[in-house]
Amino acid sequence: MDVHVQGGPAEPFLGARNLFSTEYDLERPVTVRIKEDPDERTRVSHDDHGHRLTISRQAATSAVARELALHEFAHMHHYEQGHPSHTQSTEEAIYLALPGRSVERRKLIHCYQIANHMKDVYADDVWMAMAPGDKLVGLLESSLAAAVADRPADPPAWERVDAAPPRHEWPLEPATRLTAASDPEITAVNAAFALALCERHDLVEDDHRLYDLAHAAAHDATDVNLAEFKRHFASLSPDPDESEFRKALVDVTRAYATANGGAAAD
């Protein structure tokens, strides 16, 4: 594996490379760009010449830097191998799940986040076989605790849009919210994802605080069935074909977008 780090400490990324390369290899070189902006989200892009990982200095120097790098290397591996989770179009899944429907813009935006969760499940399946997931549990717990504490006093207001706008409008840009707090419904889905991931890899005991936080998140979003969404994530086939993964993505998209009549005939 060829990894180049720009703008910050190389050790976490080279350490992750050394560990990852004991089991897998990447055909294309990886460029890691560390940005000073603490709000810079960890993101990956790909082209014919290589992979690019952009990450904030705060994340690159955190206690979970190596695990974040392993996670992103796993995404790159799936991209190179053409894994169904990384080739399936989320836009296509939305068209298949919600034909002729109108949906709140926030729900369409959240469908992309849910699709990313499904990609993350398969990325984590790769690297968790190499390194302990304890630090990931702490990250999931702190993120969920912050979202639950940030829930709005009143339901947020969003506009509704066609579920199938002209294709040039995809991906949708976020709409303006009337409240600044976290959205209870996607927080509940995020909680289901966190539990599913931990249970899939036996990372927590039944009395872990993550379950209390998930219960609180579910209480704030009564239209979201926490157990149903946990099942969607936890039961993903370890080695799906394209048809199997497409069906799973369509099913979870429909379940979220139509919760409590969230989608109605246009």
Please write the tens of the pLDDT for every residue from 109-119. 999 999 999 99
User: Which structure tokens are listed for 24?
Assistant: 């897998």
3-state secondary structure of 104: strand
Residue 101: pLDDT band (50, 70, 90) is confident
Residue 154: pLDDT band (50, 70, 90) is low
Listed residue (126, 128, 137) closest to 238, CA to CA = 126
Distance CA 135, CA 32 (A): 21
Distance CA 151, CA 160 (A): 21
Mean pLDDT calculated for residue range 182-187: 91
Q: How many CB atoms lie within 10 A of CB 146?
A: 12
User: Which structure tokens are listed for 132?
Assistant: 């302990």
Residue 39: pLDDT band (50, 70, 90) is confident
Amino acid found at 19: L
User: Which structure tokens are listed for 107?
Assistant: 């729900």
Which residues, listed in sequence order, are joined to residue 160 by a DSSP beta bridge?
A: 104
* The pLDDT value given to residue 40: 83
Note the maximum CA span of the chain. Answer: 54
Residue with tokens 């977008």: 257
User: pTM of the entire structure?
Assistant: 0.86
Dihedral of alpha carbons 248, 251, 254, 258, sign: negative
3-state secondary structure of 32: strand
Q: What is the mean pLDDT of the chain?
A: 88
User: Which structure tokens are listed for 178?
Assistant: 């009337």
Listed residue (1, 3, 5, 4) closest to 21, CA to CA = 1
* The pLDDT value given to residue 174: 40
Listed residue (143, 122, 117) closest to 209, CA to CA = 143
Listed residue (249, 257, 259, 256) closest to 163, CA to CA = 257
Residue 8: pLDDT band (50, 70, 90) is very high
